[in-house]
């Protein structure tokens, strides 16, 4: 309920920081996997996370817990917005809420970057910066960027691990 509208920040804090059910690296790896599964990333994360601890019943419980309350809330808010959406004060409030959501997202990005920085993973940070620049600044299409970035990051990780093992 507290993460309604942008649950990634709250999910990471609860899973990694508060309950320590996963390490920061495990969370990042699981979240990265969920990017490649069809559907919303955080929903995929809830299903994978639930199945990791309790199998299919855990997946169902995590999925229902993530989506059930917000569906009810959105339905009620949609009805209220349809009735009162033209009020100027409400529009200003919603603008402020959207700014807070952007701030939360930026905070999560930096927290998810910390394992790369702590490990001094220069290649990981460079790939991250390149993908951000390609998508966020240059506005290149996501599928095209991923078609280049994924094999590149896998190859560099493989090469780095081989070099460390040798």
Q: What is the pLDDT of residues 87-128, one digit of tens each?
A: 988 888 888 888 888 888 888 888 878 887 888 778 878 888
Closest C-alpha among 68, 76, 66 to residue 43? 66
Residue 134 pLDDT > 80: yes
Question: What's the pLDDT score for residue 145?
Answer: 93
Provide, rounded to the nearest whole percent, the portion of the chain with pLDDT above 90.
Answer: 33
- Planar angle of CA 142, 147, 152, nearest 5 degrees: 120
**What is the chain's percent helix, strand, coil content, to nearest 5?**
85, 0, 15
Task: Give the list of residues 6+ apart from residue 137 with CB closer than 8 angstroms, or none.
Answer: none
**Mean local confidence (pLDDT), 150-165:** 84
5 has a pLDDT exceeding 60? no
Sign of the CA dihedral running 52, 57, 62, 66: positive
Residue 110 CA to residue 52 CA, distance in Å, equals: 26
Q: What is the mean pLDDT of the chain?
A: 87
**What is the domain partition of the chain in residue ranges?**
1-112, 121-166
Q: Place 130 in a pLDDT band, splitting at 50, 70 and 90.
A: very high
Asked whether the predicted pLDDT for residue 64 surpasses 90, the reply is: yes
């Amino acid at each position: 309920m507290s993460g309604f509208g942008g649950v990634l920040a709250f999910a990471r804090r609860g899973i990694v920081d508060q309950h320590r059910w996963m390490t920061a690296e495990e969370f990042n790896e699981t979240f990265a996997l969920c990017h490649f599964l069809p559907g919303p990333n955080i929903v995929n994360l809830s299903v994978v996370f639930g199945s990791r601890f309790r199998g299919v019943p855990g997946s169902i419980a995590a999925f229902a817990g993530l989506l059930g309350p917000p569906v009810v809330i959105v339905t009620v808010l949609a009805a209220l917005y349809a009735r009162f959406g033209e009020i100027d004060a409400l529009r200003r409030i919603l603008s402020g809420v959207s700014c807070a959501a952007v701030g939360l997202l930026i905070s999560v990005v930096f927290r998810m970057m910390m394992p790369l920085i702590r490990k001094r993973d220069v290649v990981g940070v460079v790939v991250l910066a390149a993908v951000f620049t390609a998508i966020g600044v240059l506005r290149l299409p996501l599928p095209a960027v991923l078609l280049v970035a994924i094999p590149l990051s896998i190859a560099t990780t493989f090469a780095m691990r081989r070099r460390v093992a040798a």
